[in-house]
Amino acid sequence: MSTAYKLTGLRCGGCVATVTEALEALEGVEGVQVTLEPPRAEVDGAIDLATVRAALESHGFEVELEPAGSEENVAPGRALPVAAAAGRALPVATSAGAAVPRPDSPPETSVQPSVGAELASASPEAPAPRATEGDERVLALHGLTCGSCVAAVDAALRAVPGVREVAVSLPREQARVQVDPGVDTAALCAAVAAKGYRAELAAEAPGETTHATGGVRAGIALACAAVVMGSMWIPAAHAIAPWLGASLATLALGCAWPVFLAALQRTRALSASMDSLVALGTLAAYGLSWHNLLRGGALHFGVVCMILGFVLFGRALESRARAQTGGALRGLLGRVPPHAHRLRGDQVERVPLSEVQRGERVRVLPGEVLPVDGRVRSGTSEVDTSALTGESLPQAVGPGDEVHAGTLNGAGSLDVDVERLGADTRWGQVLALVERGQGTRARVEREVDVWAARLVPLVLLVAVGATFGWALAGAGLGPALLIGVAVLVVACPCALGLATPTAVVVAVGRGATEGILVRDATALEGLAQAQRVVFDKTGTLTAGAFGLEEAVALQDVQPEVLLAQVAALEQHSEHPLAQAVVSAAAAQGPVPQASEVQVHVGGGIEGLVDGVHVRVGSPRWLREAGVVGELGDVLGGGVGVGVAHGARLVGALRLRDAPRAGAAEVVRSLRDAGLEVTLLTGDRVAVAERLGAELGISDVRAEVTPAGKAEVVASLERAAPTVMVGDGINDAAALGMARVGVALGGGTDAAKQQAQVVLLGDDLQALPRALRLGRATLRTIRVNLIWAFAYNLVAIPLAAAGAISASWGAAAMALSSVAVVSNSLRLRRSQDTKAS
């Protein structure tokens, strides 16, 4: 019996391996087939949904039965939808106008198809599209204070029909909800309100958090505490001290109205949070003090003021620190100017950017940041694109050239026709990736939120037990109640809830400032766990463009003469490699003139040079022209074009796809960090091994089709956490099978859509920094969690034992959350991710 299950939370090849291992360990399972796209598992054997759900939810995945007859029941994971012929790439023209195989193409076979057939077989099918994500709603949340709040909101949203995926962020006080088209936003907000929180559609731009009001309230409450405590030491004030304390404690309660309102909302929703603990503790002390004031006994109004003062002050500090975690995003947002110089006829007017429309024209003055995407209508300048692409040198632009928002104009003035604005610009898309990455949740965060949600009721039980225990032991109702209050206010589920998301938010922002776009928090975990990095060759480790390596001549022709003859023909070609050939020949001596030159598009070029009929072209074209000789023997397995005198092969130009600048340093850096490095390519074995030897990569796997690449990466991922780095459409399937897929910013859209991390521009040297960022983030999360768990494990028993007073317990609780956020902020200044 085979049963299909729909999975939620499946993000990478590592998830696939985890699910597979967990299901195979279950009794009664005879076979398991897990696919990433669509995220599903097909299980053979007699096993029920509850057992499967229990096995996978412990790993952070959610499970539901897949409807019978759905399209997803056809498991596409059994065979990757990439044609075997996709391993052969389209020919590229050489300097001679000839067609030579791309470096990733397999060896030439004996069967030569027609040009039309070769084009058809060389076009790879696109990778399987991701399942449609429907609509995304971003909700601004109000009232979140701790991990139990996150868990409650997450569960409420997931219970709404039509909701596919939920990501609740405590630092950003935001929820990203993937829903089926047609799901009403009001239903989502109502589900959140039913749990005692408030939700509304978030504005397009993240708002600023105001800390001043909370700081003022905290100051008033602490001042009240100081006056109440001081009155006890002034003999003249003893007569009015009780009523003064009652009045000031009431004022302090008023300052803390958000805490009590939130607690009331949770109570109505039959739930509890950090606000519930604080409210219950202070109201108990406040009520006991009023009872003793009227009946006689010890007063604790000062304790009430101190608890609320410390709680409010700690939250103000925490709010300020949490706001700083989004500083990188605000810096990116602030790069695009809010105004533009709009052209209306001969008039230039400075207007808000929101008033500029597509199709209008704006003028960008020297030294200004471009506010829009568009094309230069007039003017010339140099534009610094480093913030967008990572390109270190300014790019010359003129009429007809495309320019982008967020880039810096040089010394010239440009008139630009507006094509895209705001979120539609390339800069806006970068911001969207950063913001979405900051809102995602790491796998460990889900597990921590479960513990944080359990902590609140556990603390309530401990507080009640401690109160009754001390009272029965003869301590008296007043002291026993204060010990219970101390237990309530010393507990800090906030620290648990903030430990992971604050580190993620800071890390994603830090990466964005260094050209590393992290699209998913789980990628940071994967980067930290990586033990192997797999590189595609063409366009990743190499520049992806052929260059002249050397002229190879047979015995009766000198290489210098051969190169000069080819250069004589190439002077009549406009191909980019032609100039390289001519320059190389000119460096050796004068270049002769050629006559009767004929260019055969896609084949080669021929003409007379010093009375000799010279032909330069691809192996096929030379054979068709009747040239005798095997070009493969001359090239020695390399890539190039042949040179013939009449019908006799006399040599070749060996072409080479040169390594990308800094590639060797990147490989060395990865190996020094203890990672295994693999080169995975569709190119010939000889070419791949030569590049591997040059870059220091011993594990080279060549002549692999795109489907084969995916299989190899999946196999490596099962053995150890693997990062795949690629840039082409033929890498997309392999990127999806790795623990983390990394795409170069200059790569294809298919690769970037499949990858979890995108390196802006083509800066391969950002990869080691990305790996260090992942490790630094995981270290920070671990420190945060150790502190948060240790604090609660130590502080709660001490408070229950009467060793910590309620006032100092509140202070300790407030500082615990601030300590976690402050530790996360250290990632902003960490040296681990800086370029060496």
Residue pLDDT, tens place only, 737-786: 889 999 887 766 666 677 888 887 677 888 999 999 999 999 998 998 89
DSSP collapsed to 3 states, 88-119? CCCCEECCCCEEECCCCCCCCCCCCCCHHHHH
Convert the pLDDT of each residue in 31-84 to its tens digit.
887 776 567 888 888 788 878 888 887 776 778 877 644 433 333 333 333 223
Confidence band (pLDDT; 50, 70, 90) for 321?
A: low
Instruction: Report the CATH number at residue 387.
Output: 2.70.150.10
- Give me the mean pLDDT over the 395-407 stretch: 89
Which helix (H) or strand (E) segment is 262 a member of? Answer: helix 257-268
For 413-531, strand residue ranges (E) read 414-420, 516-518
Query: Is pLDDT of 593 > 80?
Result: yes
Query: Is pLDDT of 688 > 70?
Result: yes
Instruction: Report the CATH number at residue 616.
Output: 3.40.1110.10
Query: Is pLDDT of 633 > 80?
Result: no
Q: What is the per-residue pLDDT for 107?
A: 37
Question: Does residue 639 lie within any of the structural domains?
Answer: yes
Q: What is the per-residue pLDDT for 102?
A: 41
Question: Does residue 478 lie within any of the structural domains?
Answer: yes
Convert the pLDDT of each residue in 714-741 to its tens digit.
999 999 999 999 887 677 778 888 899 9
Question: Does residue 30 lie within any of the structural domains?
Answer: yes
Query: Is pLDDT of 331 > 70?
Result: no
How many structural domains comprise the chain? 5
Average pLDDT, the chain: 77
Cβ atoms of residues 148 and 493 within 8 Å: yes
User: 302 and 270: one domain?
Assistant: yes
Q: What is the per-residue pLDDT for 55?
A: 84
Question: Does residue 89 lie within any of the structural domains?
Answer: no
Query: Is pLDDT of 104 > 60?
Result: no
Question: Does residue 586 lie within any of the structural domains?
Answer: yes
Query: Is pLDDT of 99 > 60?
Result: no
User: 447 and 321: one domain?
Assistant: yes
What SS3 state is found at 239?
A: coil
Question: Does residue 348 lie within any of the structural domains?
Answer: yes
User: 318 and 369: one domain?
Assistant: no
Query: Is pLDDT of 279 > 90?
Result: no
User: 181 and 232: one domain?
Assistant: no
Confidence band (pLDDT; 50, 70, 90) for 833?
A: low
Q: What is the dihedral of CA 528, 533, 536, 537, to 10 degrees?
A: 130
Q: What is the dihedral of CA 713, 717, 721, 724, to 10 degrees?
A: 10
Confidence band (pLDDT; 50, 70, 90) for 333?
A: low
What SS3 state is found at 770?
A: helix
One of 104, 520, 536, 762 is an active-site residue; which one? 536
Of 781, 157, 806, 102, which is closest to residue 447 (Cα–Cα)? 781
Question: Does residue 23 lie within any of the structural domains?
Answer: yes
More confident residue, 307 or 546: 307
Q: What is the per-residue pLDDT for 309?
A: 81
- Give me the mean pLDDT over the 575-598 stretch: 81
pTM given for the model: 0.61
- Write out the residue range of the structural domain in which residue 150 sits: 135-170+173-201
Query: Is pLDDT of 204 > 60?
Result: no
Q: What is the per-residue pLDDT for 203?
A: 58
Beta-carbon contacts of 219 under 8 Å, excluding residues fewer than 6 positions away, are 313
Instruction: Report the CATH number at residue 17.
Output: 3.30.70.100
- Give me the mean pLDDT over the 273-287 stretch: 81
More confident residue, 407 or 90: 407
- Give me the mean pLDDT over the 627-650 stretch: 78
What six digits make up the tokens of 291?
């009872």
Convert the pLDDT of each residue in 144-199 to its tens digit.
876 677 878 888 899 898 888 888 877 678 888 888 887 888 889 999 988 888 88
Would you call the peptide bond into 493 cis, given omega within 30 degrees of 0 as the criterion? no
User: 293 and 376: one domain?
Assistant: no
Q: What is the per-residue pLDDT for 318?
A: 61
Q: CA–CA separation, 323 vs 325, rounded Å?
A: 5
User: 319 and 418: one domain?
Assistant: no
More confident residue, 308 or 449: 308
Question: Does residue 105 lie within any of the structural domains?
Answer: no
Q: What is the per-residue pLDDT for 134?
A: 55
User: 415 and 467: one domain?
Assistant: no
Work out the burial of residue 68: count CB atoms within 10 Å of its CB; fewer than 13 is exposed, 13-18 middle, 19 or more buried: exposed
Query: Is pLDDT of 681 > 80?
Result: yes
Does the annotation count 536 as an active-site position?
yes
Q: CA–CA separation, 809 vs 831, rounded Å?
A: 35
Most confident of the following: 273-277, 392-396, 695-699: 695-699
Query: Is pLDDT of 535 > 60?
Result: yes
Q: What is the per-residue pLDDT for 70?
A: 43
Q: What is the per-residue pLDDT for 113?
A: 30
Cβ atoms of residues 315 and 492 within 8 Å: no
What six digits make up the tokens of 187?
């239903």
Convert the pLDDT of each residue in 110-136 to its tens digit.
333 322 222 222 333 333 333 334 577
Query: Is pLDDT of 542 > 80?
Result: yes
More confident residue, 17 or 508: 508
For 225-331, strand residue ranges (E) read none
Beta-carbon contacts of 234 under 8 Å, excluding residues fewer than 6 positions away, are none
Most confident of the following: 336-340, 398-402, 574-578: 398-402
Q: What is the per-residue pLDDT for 287?
A: 86
Beta-carbon contacts of 599 under 8 Å, excluding residues fewer than 6 positions away, are 97, 572, 573, 605
What SS3 state is found at 639?
A: strand
* Percent of the chain scoring above 70 in pLDDT: 78
Q: What is the per-residue pLDDT for 452?
A: 67
Q: CA–CA separation, 564 vs 538, rounded Å?
A: 30
* Percent of the chain scoring above 90 in pLDDT: 14
Beta-carbon contacts of 526 under 8 Å, excluding residues fewer than 6 positions away, are 12, 14, 721, 723, 739, 740, 756, 774
Confidence band (pLDDT; 50, 70, 90) for 293?
A: confident
User: 567 and 635: one domain?
Assistant: yes
Residue where a domain terminates, one of 38, 59, 78: 78
User: 221 and 315: one domain?
Assistant: yes
User: 587 and 638: one domain?
Assistant: yes
- Give me the mean pLDDT over the 583-607 stretch: 84
Residue where a domain terminates, one of 78, 104, 121: 78
User: 344 and 399: one domain?
Assistant: yes
Query: Is pLDDT of 209 > 50?
Result: no
Query: Is pLDDT of 88 > 50?
Result: no
Q: What is the per-residue pLDDT for 396?
A: 84
- Give me the mean pLDDT over the 489-514 stretch: 80
Q: What are phi and psi of 248, to 5 degrees?
A: -70, -35
User: 302 and 230: one domain?
Assistant: yes
What SS3 state is found at 711?
A: helix
